[in-house]
Amino acid sequence: MSADLITAGGDGSMSAVSDTAFRLRDVRQEKSGRVLLRDIDLVLPRGRITVLLGSSGAGKTSLLRLLNRLDDPAAGVISYLGRSLDEYSVTELRRRVGFVFQTPVMFAGSVRDNLHEAAEIAGLEGEELPKRVREALKLAGLDPALEDRPSHELSVGEQQRATLARTLIGAPEVLLLDEPTSALDPESSEFLLDSIQRLRAERGITVILSTHRLHEALAVADEAVRLSGGAVEESGEASDVLA
């Protein structure tokens, strides 16, 4: 990203776009007349782990869904790398901004079929594919022995990692994770959070992760956003927000 793409920050200051992944201005979201998000002004930095902290119903999922355009906001503007989201082709945006749902949804077939499906959508093919599959499984912390396993035979924890691998195979720049540990036991949770930190460190992936668990947020967050009733209560350095 060129340095001349400069945009005003929420507080009026100037900051380089290259440090900012997403910027949300006056974002509002509604569903069936109910307000899900209101007055959202946020800067989500690039290459860092931002945790959205809040109880259920605080608007965490609604916010994540806006970032890869599974939904569009009722009002307000969201930009990614300095360009408004609707300036991207929606399929391209979604390939660059991966989303792992809270409840894992596996496609039919084996784990490998699932990853191949995602690879095909991402336009990957050829000899590199088996290697990419193994890499993605390793990154997501899923035992490569499970590659041939029918996806519906996996435990929920394994499915969660398989859907993470499925998202990672397309090498997204951003990873949106909606309560990724809610279905996992403490050991698996810790393992997954380690993987996420490794992804950020080794690949420079921007991670935006929602959780309602403070200790989890403390464990991984560089930045934190505290949401309540669809509004931002506090945001900034994790050490300040979570203190």
Q: Which of residues 46-65 bind other proteins (CB under 8 A)?
A: 61-62, 65
Asked if 77 is part of the footprint of other proteins (rule: CB under 8 A), the reply reads no
In the complex with other proteins, the residue whose CB is nearer, 107 or 191, is 107
Asked if 71 is part of the footprint of other proteins (rule: CB under 8 A), the reply reads yes
Numbers of helices and strands, H then E, in the chain: 8, 12
Quick one: tokens of 4? 């001349």
Stretch that binds other proteins, among 8-16, 86-94, 143-151, 233-241 (CB under 8 A): 86-94
Rounded least distance, CB 162 to other proteins, Å:
11
Q: Under rule CB under 8 A, how many of the chain's residues touch other proteins?
A: 34
Rounded least distance, CB 93 to other proteins, Å:
8
Q: Which of residues 135-174 bind other proteins (CB under 8 A)?
A: 163, 166-167, 170
Give 82's Cβ-side CA count (13 Å radius): 14
In the complex with other proteins, the residue whose CB is nearer, 107 or 190, is 107
Cα-Cα-Cα-Cα dihedral sign, residues 31, 36, 42, 45: negative
Asked if 80 is part of the footprint of other proteins (rule: CB under 8 A), the reply reads no
Of 112, 113, 105, 114, give the one whose Cα is nearest residue 183: 105
| Partners of residue 80 on adjacent β-strands | 22, 83
Q: Which of residues 9-38 bind other proteins (CB under 8 A)?
A: 29, 31-32, 36
Give 181's Cβ-side CA count (13 Å radius): 24
Residue 125 to residues 18, 130, 169, 205, 232: CA-CA distances in angstroms? 30, 9, 11, 23, 42
The DSSP secondary structure of 141-183, one letter per residue, reads: T--GGGGGSBGGGS-HHHHHHHHHHHHHTT--SEEEEESTTTT
Rounded least distance, CB 87 to other proteins, Å:
12
Q: Which residues bind other proteins (CB under 8 A)?
A: 29, 31-32, 36, 61-62, 65-66, 68-72, 86, 90-95, 98-99, 101, 103, 105, 107-108, 118, 121-122, 163, 166-167, 170
